[in-house]
Amino acid sequence: MAMLQMSTNKAAGSGGGDGQLAETAVKSSHKEESYAGMVVRRFKKHKLAVAGLVIMTLLSLGAIMAPWIVPHDPYQVTEAFEAEPSAEHLLGTDQVGRDVLSRLIYAARVSLMVGLGSVLISVTIGTVLGLVSGYFGGLVDMAVMRVTDIFMSFPQLMLILVVVSVVGPSLTNVILILGFLGWTGAARLVRGSVLSIKQMDYVKAGVALGLGTPRILFKHILPNALAPILVNATFGIAGAIVSEASLSFLGLGVQPPTASWGNMLTDAQSLTVLTSQPWLWLPPGIMIVVSVLSVNFIGDGLRDAMDPKSLK
Amino acid sequence: MEHLLTVNRLQTAFRTDQGEVISIDDVSFRLKAGETLGIVGESGCGKSVTSLSIMRLLGAKGRISRGEIIFEDKSLGKLTEAQMRDIRGNDISMIFQEPMTSLNPVFTIGHQMIEAIRLHMSLDKKAARAYAIEMLKRVGIPRPEVMVDEYPHALSGGMRQRVMIAMALSCEPRLLIADEPTTALDVTIQAQILELMKKLKQESGTAIMLITHDLGVIAEMADKVIVMYAGQVVEETDVFTLFDEPKHPYTQGLMQSIPHIDAEHGERLASIPGSVPSLQNMPAGCRFRARCPHAMEKCEAELPPLIPAGKNHLTRCWLAVQPASMAKEAAYG
């Protein structure tokens, strides 16, 4: 160790020009893996998260390629209504004779769009508000956090029901409503991270170097708060999928004939369907559970992988 | 020679729950180009607040309540925030105490250096990168062309402090404020960093304001020294006089508390009894009074001003008056 320090000392004295000394100094600071590499390695250890990622990838692929892989037109009404699963209709048909499997695949598009769309909106709003609130503090913080509190104290579902009944149910509206109501968690989370990050010396060093405030906020603080934001976003996706399903189940979400897992479940409100036609409600129910579970597992995995405090 | 930095009767206050608290009071000093000024004192005596006041980085709660800071011919207190941003990192740079946390962990050191360089110098990306590598080489980073793409976590504390110095000096500032640059480093690395700062100072003629609580560092680096106690300058002189004949009892106490290699076996190191008074209830009169072995009645009644105690030597102690008056008496006798 003493030798090493002497050698770096000499290297410093000669301006680091000496190749051999420089060689030893670099070898001593052994090559460490990048942050992204570490996250991937740690994520892979989380078996459930990997399984979740595989399922979500397949689901997404299915949703994107739906027009080419569905066996039937999901809106095509046929005479074979309420048909049991068969070779022709793998998951049977619904009350008006539409192919359940095709509808199920198309419905994945709705769920994923709602999940991603609304989370994109809510995380963007939440992140910006949280950053501003945490960094500037004082009155700004006060104002933003009180607004957040107000939004949080609304009974969410009831508010959504009221808004939907005012603006009318549609896929776009569901995305917008969930997005504009769901930002509170992200805002608080980001604010918390910013409060601790802004005390870090590298932020002070940035100010001392003459960097402007927006630059410090978005280019130096935000990247450091990205891990919790990302984890929060994955859980947000799961929440949005469930919310959409509930809304559609209640008839206030995506409107028929567009298929969504939620409105497909509506059929299960009838007792006969519930007891004797499980192919109508079991598949969408399972899809909701599987997709939400997968997203949650991914979130769990990400949290463990990205948390610098957890053990390598 | 014209002074680069003049701090004149600076007072900085912070808003707290108990009202406004004055952190540093009546701090004055001057610094010429190429000079190194050491600021010594124990924790909480206002060393860092002084430097942050110069950079105008006091945060929302702090403000300069009196006095002025003249840098070149600009009064820093009167500049707009945008003008101040232009000075920070360009004319005045700062190095912080903790090299381990002073670099953003999510960017490569090159990225951070290039950002700072391009902010103040009109260089394109490629030129800025070449310049960053050049700077890394100057501060003794081995294989700078490889290290420029490393993330901070791959570097040791000493290496990171070198990077911080490279960054701070890249825009050739007129003044470098080093706030305890070596406190977090172990002694061998400490010596290297000090050596490096000396070398760079000689090359570039940058004035350095070195803040530390380590008198060894002061002896090594400084030309001029100010000793601070409880938010005030208590002694100001050149480095040799400070070590040869410290006048203020606080400085004397500090000198006695340095371990010496020729100490008697079993001899205990002297320490200054008591602790620094809190900012909220600063005593009237001399602030060191309660801990001073020479405290007199006068110390309680009246705060001593900075009294000349020789050539280029000022001390905030009534004791400094006495020899002069005794000398006068002797002259009359």
Count the alpha carbons within 13 Å of B14 in the hemisphere toward its beta carbon: 16
Q: Do residues A152 and A186 both lie within one domain?
A: yes
pLDDT over threshold 60, residue B191 = yes
- Let me know whether A218 and A131 are in one domain: yes
Residues A140 and A3 in one domain: no
Residue B98: inside a domain = no
**CB-based contacts of B278, cutoff 8 Å, min separation 6:** none
Residue A176 lies in a domain: yes
Report how far residue A46's alpha carbon sits from residue A26's, in angstroms, rounded to the nearest whole number: 33
Question: What confidence score (pLDDT) does residue A44 get?
Answer: 87
Q: Is the Cβ of B98 closer than 8 Å to some Cβ of chain A?
A: yes
| Calpha distance A176→A122 (Å, rounded) | 9
- Answer yes or no: is A312 within a domain: no
Give domain status of residue B97, yes or no. Answer: no
Contacts of B60 in chain A (CB under 8 A): 137-138
Domain boundary among B145, B164, B183: B164
- From B170's Cα to the closest Cα of chain A, the distance in A is 11
Per-residue CA distances from B157 to A236, B152, B177, B188 (Å):
39, 9, 19, 12
Q: How many domains does chain B have?
A: 2
Mean pLDDT of chain B: 84
Q: How many domains does chain A have?
A: 2
Cα(A155)–Cα(A138) distance, integer angstroms? 28
Question: Do residues A18 and A101 both lie within one domain?
Answer: no
Per DSSP, the three-state class of A77 is coil
Work out the percent of chain B whose per-residue pLDDT is above 90: 7
Q: Are residues B250 and B295 in the same domain?
A: yes
B227 in a structural domain: yes
> Which token pair is A254?
């995506």
Residues B184 and B285 in one domain: yes
Contact A35 B102 (CB under 8 A): no
pTM above 0.90, yes or no: no
- Please tell me whether residues B242 and B128 are part of one structural domain: no
For B50-59, the pLDDT digits (tens) are 988 988 888 7
Instruction: Answer yes or no: is A311 within a domain.
Output: no
Tell whether the torsion through CA atoms of A86, A88, A91 and A96 is positive or negative: negative
Residue among A172, A302, A296 nearest A239 (CA): A296
Q: Does residue B126 form part of some domain?
A: yes
> Does the residue B101 lie in any domain?
no
**Predicted-assembly ipTM surpassing the 0.90 threshold:** no
Same domain, residue pair A8 and A144:
no
Q: Residue B202 sits in which domain range?
A: 3-91+173-332
Relative to beta strand B307-308, strand B314-315 is antiparallel
Chain B, 57-86: which have a CB under 8 Å from a chain A CB?
Answer: 57, 60, 85-86
User: Residue A191 CB: number of other CB atoms within 10 A?
Assistant: 24
- What is d(CA A63, CA A59) in angstroms, rounded to the nearest whole number? 6
Q: How many CB pairs under 8 A join A and B?
A: 114
In a domain, B244, yes or no: yes
Output the domain CATH number for residue A52. Answer: 1.10.3720.10
* pLDDT above 60: residue B103: yes
Q: Which residues, 6 or more positions from A296, have their beta carbon under 8 angstroms from its beta carbon?
A: A52, A234, A235, A238
Measured between beta carbons, the chain A residues lying within 8 angstroms of B98 are: 201
From the list A13, A210, A220, the residue facing B89 with the nearest CB is A210
Bridge partner residues of B15 (DSSP)? B20
Indicate if A133 and A226 belong to the same structural domain.
Answer: yes
Are residues A60 and A207 both part of a single domain?
yes
Name chain A contacts of B86, Cβ cutoff 8 Å.
210
pLDDT per residue as tens, chain A (312 positions):
344 444 444 344 444 344 444 444 444 444 456 677 878 888 888 889 999 999 999 989 988 888 888 777 777 777 777 777 777 777 777 777 788 888 888 888 888 888 899 999 999 999 999 999 999 888 999 999 999 999 888 887 888 888 888 888 888 888 888 898 889 989 999 999 999 888 888 888 888 888 888 888 888 888 888 888 888 888 888 888 888 888 888 888 888 788 888 888 887 777 777 778 888 888 888 988 999 899 889 988 888 887 665 544
Q: Are residues A86 and A169 in the same domain?
A: yes
**pLDDT > 70: what percent of chain B?**
96
Would you say residue B75 lies in a domain?
A: yes
Based on the fold, state whether residues B202 and B299 are members of the same structural domain.
yes
Query: Who's near B164: CB < 8 A, 6+ residues apart?
Result: A205, B95, B96, B99, B102, B103
CA distances from B269 to A154, B40, B168, B178, B214 (A): 65, 19, 38, 29, 16
pLDDT tens digit sequence for A91-141: 777 777 788 888 888 888 888 888 899 999 999 999 999 999 999 888 999
| CATH number of the domain where residue B232 is located | 3.40.50.300
Structural domain containing residue A16: 1-31
Are residue B72 and residue B133 in the same domain, yes or no?
no
Tell me, yes or no, whether A246 and A289 share the same domain: yes
Q: Do A208 and B89 touch (CB under 8 A)?
A: yes
Q: 3-class DSSP state for residue A246?
A: helix
CB B290 within 8 A of CB B283: yes
* Claim to verify: residue B80 and residue B134 sit in the same structural domain: no
pLDDT given at position A40: 86
> Which two three-digit tokens encode residue A211?
């960097």
**What would the pLDDT profile of B218-253 be if each residue is shown by its tens digit?**
888 899 999 998 888 989 999 888 888 888 888 888
* pLDDT (0 to 100) of residue B133: 92
Q: Nearest to residue A156, comparing CAs of A177, A187, A129, A125?
A: A177
Is A195 found in the same domain as A136? yes
Q: Is residue B29 domain-shared with residue B152, that is, in the same domain? A: no
Query: Does one domain contain both B144 and B206?
Result: no
For residues B35 and B125, membership in a common domain is answered with no
Q: What are B286-315's pLDDT values in tens digits?
A: 888 888 888 888 888 888 888 888 888 888
Q: Do the domain assignments include residue A110? A: yes
